[in-house]
A and B are shown apart, each in its own frame.
Chain A
Amino acid sequence: MLIKKPEDIKSSEITDEKAYLNRRLFMRGAVLAASTAATGLLYRSLTASSRRTTTEEATAVESAPTPSLSIEGEKLTSLEAITHYNNFYEFSTSKQAVAEKAEGFISRPWTISVEGLVNKPKIFDIDDLIKLNPPEDRVYRLRCVEGWSMVIPWLGFPLAALLKQVEPNSAARFVEFTTLLDPDRMPNQRTSVLDWPYVEGLRLDEALHPLTLLAVGLYGKTLPPQNGAPLRLVVPWKYGFKSIKSIVKIRLVEDQPPTTWNDQAPGEYGFYSNVNPQVDHPRWSQKRERRIGEFGQRDTLLFNGYADEVAGLYEGMDLKVYY
Chain B
Amino acid sequence: MKEIGFAKLVVFVNSIVPLLLLGWDGLRGDLGANPLEFVTHTTGTLTLVFLLISLAVTPLRKTLGQPWMIKLRRMTGLFAFFYGCLHLMTYLWFDKFFNIAEIGRDTIKRPFITLGMASFFLMLPLALTSTNKMVKRLGGRRWNRLHRLVYLAAIAGVIHYWMLVKADTRIPLAFGAVLAVLLIYRALAAFFKRRLPAQEPSENL
Q: Does A35 contact B (CB under 8 A)?
A: yes
Determine if A35 and B32 form an interchain contact, defined as CB atoms under 8 angstroms apart. no
Q: For the complex of A and B, list the 6 residue pairs with the smallest distance between their C-beta atoms, beginning with the closest.
A: A85-B33, A81-B33, A93-B168, A50-B32, A39-B17, A39-B14
Determine if A290 and B36 form an interchain contact, defined as CB atoms under 8 angstroms apart. yes
Determine if A283 and B164 form an interchain contact, defined as CB atoms under 8 angstroms apart. yes
Chain A residues with CB under 8 Å of B42's CB are 47
The stretch of B5-13, B137-145, B187-195 in contact with A is B5-13
B33 to chain A, nearest CB (A): 3
Chain B residues with CB under 8 Å of A39's CB are 14, 17-18
The chain A residues found within 8 Å of chain B, CB to CB, are 28, 31-32, 35-36, 39-40, 43-44, 47, 50, 80-81, 84-85, 89, 93, 95-96, 146, 148, 191, 193-194, 264-265, 283-285, 290, 292-293, 295-297
B137 to chain A, nearest CB (A): 35
Cβ-closest chain A residue relative to B42: A47
Determine if A89 and B168 form an interchain contact, defined as CB atoms under 8 angstroms apart. yes
Residue of B6, B21, B33 with most chain A CB atoms under a 10 A cut-off: B33
Residue among A40, A80, A194, A296 making CB contact with B21, cutoff 8 Å: A40
Query: Which residues 31-90 in B have Cβ within 8 Å of A in the complex?
Result: 31-34, 36-38, 42
Given that A35-B14, A36-B14, A89-B167 are contacting pairs, would A28 and B31 also be in contact in the complex, using a CB cutoff of 8 Å? no
Determine if A193 and B14 form an interchain contact, defined as CB atoms under 8 angstroms apart. no
Determine if A148 and B34 form an interchain contact, defined as CB atoms under 8 angstroms apart. yes
Determine if A32 and B10 form an interchain contact, defined as CB atoms under 8 angstroms apart. yes
Chain B residues with CB under 8 Å of A193's CB are 167-168, 170
Determine if B31 and A290 form an interchain contact, defined as CB atoms under 8 angstroms apart. no
Chain A residues with CB under 8 Å of B18's CB are 39, 43
Residue among B33, B94, B163, B167 making CB contact with A292, cutoff 8 Å: B33
Residue of B18, B21, B167 with most chain A CB atoms under a 10 A cut-off: B167
B35 to chain A, nearest CB (A): 9
Given that A285-B106, A296-B97 are contacting pairs, would A50 and B21 also be in contact in the complex, using a CB cutoff of 8 Å? no
